[in-house]
Amino acid sequence: MVTKESVLEELLSAPFDIYRNIIVRFIRYYVSRARASKAILGLSGGIDSSLALKLTVEALGNDRVLAVIMPYEGITPQQDIDDAISLAKTLNVEYEYVPLNGVVDKIVALRDGFSDKLVRGNILARLRMLVLYAFANEFGGIVVGTSDKSELLIGYFTKYGDGGSDIMPIGDLYKTQVRKLAEIVGLPGNIVRKPSSPGLWVGQLAEKELGVQYSDIDVVLYLLVEKGYHPRAIKNVSGVNPEVVDKVIELIIKSEHKRKFPRIPKLQHGATVGLDWKYPVWMRF
Amino acid sequence: MGLKVIVPQIKFREGAIKENLDKILRVIANYDEGLILFPELALVGYYAGDLIYYLAEETQEAIERISEELSSKEDLVVGVGYPELYGTVIYNSYSFIDSMGVIATWRKFHLSTFGIFEEHRYFRPGDLLTRPIVLNEEFSVGVAICYDAFFPSVISRLVNLGAEVIVIPSASPLQSRELWDHILRTRALENNAYIIYVNHVGFKDSVFFYGESRIVDPFGRVVTKAKFGEEDTLQFIIDKDEIIRVSTMFRPTFRDYRSDISDLPLSEE
């Protein structure tokens, strides 16, 4: 019988050695196809970016990776900054420390409404993207995004902020799987056990803001996406809270726009970008 | 005398017909005899999206070029997959080519349209079955393209028409790996036929094609297998006596197969 526990067990018994292997090959493949010299990655000291960094280093070697640490000093917990720097040092990768206080404050000062917590948080996330691409341009690199599958599906990311990147190597792993793989690849215990947080304002914690535990979110997502369960059927699974199912489905629906190219009204017969335009990346005519 | 089979498990690039053709020609240059087998839609790198519409018009020339390359190699046959423009429709086809040109073409019957696959967007399903072709005077060889092998009927019919060797050109991502492990051995065993599985390898867009091309003997044993996710080349000589021994003495599934079951009248009880 399918229960919440059995689903969690299945999530955590995925073939992680193969997943790791494919992710590493993918990073290598993409960087080589893009003829990029470097991978540029925003490192927060949280679990996602730490794992993404570790795997990127496995793929490219430590000398072709640049970690960029972009705190808003005073909001970003000092512990995260310390963890990020310490991980960069452990992996022997070059890192840049770029606090964003000055530039965020300048933009926030443009208008009263910009000081709102959410507006300001998204400005911070998008400035990080901007800085990463500046580094990518400077070095001829690509930007490695660090979102995981759970965040992508429930839309827990900033459109064109942390959602803006060239590749997302861990984007097909659920949060609970990220934690497991982080443990397998030997990331420090305090990073593996750290509660998830976008760190956009003081005291922001993912599970607190969402009102749902990631283990619950992942069970619902896994049954929906990997097992093809209708939401109705997920509610019948023992141990799953029906309210959580509704909440997760609502998050998916509300965030669909974030997972799409900007919508374009279709006018002509030929393929429309983002809709029925189907060309593979790295094809050749 | 056996049938020498060569499976170059090499990377083909999406849409890059010229580059892919060059790779095929370079492989051919290394051999003088045998059957060289490339995967499904090899000429266009399988995952070519809407480029297929353009590429289908260019494949005929590439096929002719391959045949030209074989003009001085009378004992060499090459199997290659490509989008075949026929009149006003495109088929997902696989041809055997020798110094004289195309000697047989098989078309895919069961088009994959699920998950990452969108073959119904481009192709018309095959509507005529091509009989197996005899190579090296005594080996009857037929082709079932990728998803066609997931159904017993295509291979079973080819075997009933005499095929002892079935080529399965494929474009299979990692997610299908476990399924192929079962199906290839089953198809070999239930048909007393050698199965030659020829897969793509490496990334197409962000999808990883896992390779592991292989040859399975008529007893369902994997006799040789290419690397996971890496370029590799298989060479194997298929032995007629082995086919005969298994299918007469050890597990004569071909002898015992009842093709009439689906037509039997139902009992009254």
Question: What are the tens digits of pLDDT across the range A98-151?
Answer: 999 999 999 999 999 999 999 999 999 999 999 999 999 999 999 999 999 999
How sure is the predictor about A39, in pLDDT bands with cuts at 50, 70 and 90?
A: very high
* Strand-strand pairing, A38-42 and B101-107: unpaired
Q: Spell out which residues of chain A touch residue B16, defining contact as CB-CB under 8 Å.
A: 283-284
* pTM attached to this predicted model: 0.95
Structure tokens at B268: 């009254």
Predicted confidence (pLDDT) at residue A283 exceeds the cutoff of 80: no
What value does the mean pLDDT take over residues A158-165?
Answer: 97
**Whether A180 contacts A12, CB under 8 Å:** yes
Instruction: Tell me whether A22 touches chain B (CB under 8 Å).
Output: yes
The pLDDT tens digits of the residues spanning B246-255 come to 999 999 999 9
| Strands A94-97 and A65-69, sheet pairing | parallel
* Cα gap A252→A258, rounded to integer Å: 10
User: What pLDDT score does A282 carry?
Assistant: 79
Active site residue B108: yes
pLDDT of residue A211 exceeding 80: yes
Mean pLDDT of all residues belonging to chain B: 96
Distance of CA B137 to the CA centre of its chain: 20
Q: Which residues of B touch A285 (CB under 8 A)?
A: 15, 51, 54
Residue of A nearest to B209 (CA): A22
User: Residue B262 — very low, low, confident or very high, per pLDDT cuts 50/70/90?
Assistant: confident
How many Å lie between the alpha carbon of B142 and the closest alpha carbon of chain A? 31
For the segment B46-59, the average pLDDT, to the nearest whole number, is: 95
**Which one from B4, B69, B84, B108 is the annotated catalytic residue?**
B108
Query: In this complex, do B205 and A18 lie within 8 Å of one another by their Cβ atoms?
Result: no
Confidence check: pLDDT of A285 > 80? no
- Distant-in-sequence, close-in-space partners of A126: CB < 8 Å, separation ≥ 6: A158, A160, A161, A164
Chain B contact set for A15 (CB, 8 A) = none
Q: Answer whether B111's CB lies under 8 Å from B127's CB.
A: no
* Residue among A241, A229, A47, A248 at smallest CA distance from A153: A248
Phi, psi of B204 (to 5 degrees): -120, 120
What is the band of B190 on the pLDDT scale with cuts at 50, 70, 90? very high
Q: Which of residues 30-69 of A touch B (CB under 8 A)?
A: 30
Q: What is the pLDDT of residue B194?
A: 97
Residues in chain B within 8 Å Cβ distance of A271: 50
pLDDT at B88 over 90: yes
Q: Nearest-CA distance from A29 to chain B in Å?
A: 7
pLDDT of residue B10: 98
> What are the DSSP calls for A199-216, one per residue?
-SSTT--HHHHHTS-HHH
pLDDT of residue A281: 87
Is residue A227 within 8 angstroms of chain B, CB to CB? Answer: no
Is B240 labeled as catalytic in the residue annotation? Answer: no
**pLDDT per residue as tens digits for the range B126-150:** 999 999 999 999 999 999 999 999 9
pLDDT category of residue A284 using cuts at 50, 70 and 90: confident
Hey, are the CB atoms on B15 and A29 less than 8 Å from each other?
no
Q: How confident is the model at residue B1 (pLDDT cuts 50, 70, 90)?
A: confident
Per-residue confidence (pLDDT) for residue A280, from 0 to 100: 87
Mean pLDDT computed over A185-207 = 92
User: ipTM, 2 decimals?
Assistant: 0.92
N-term to C-term CA, chain B: 54
* Average pLDDT for chain A: 96
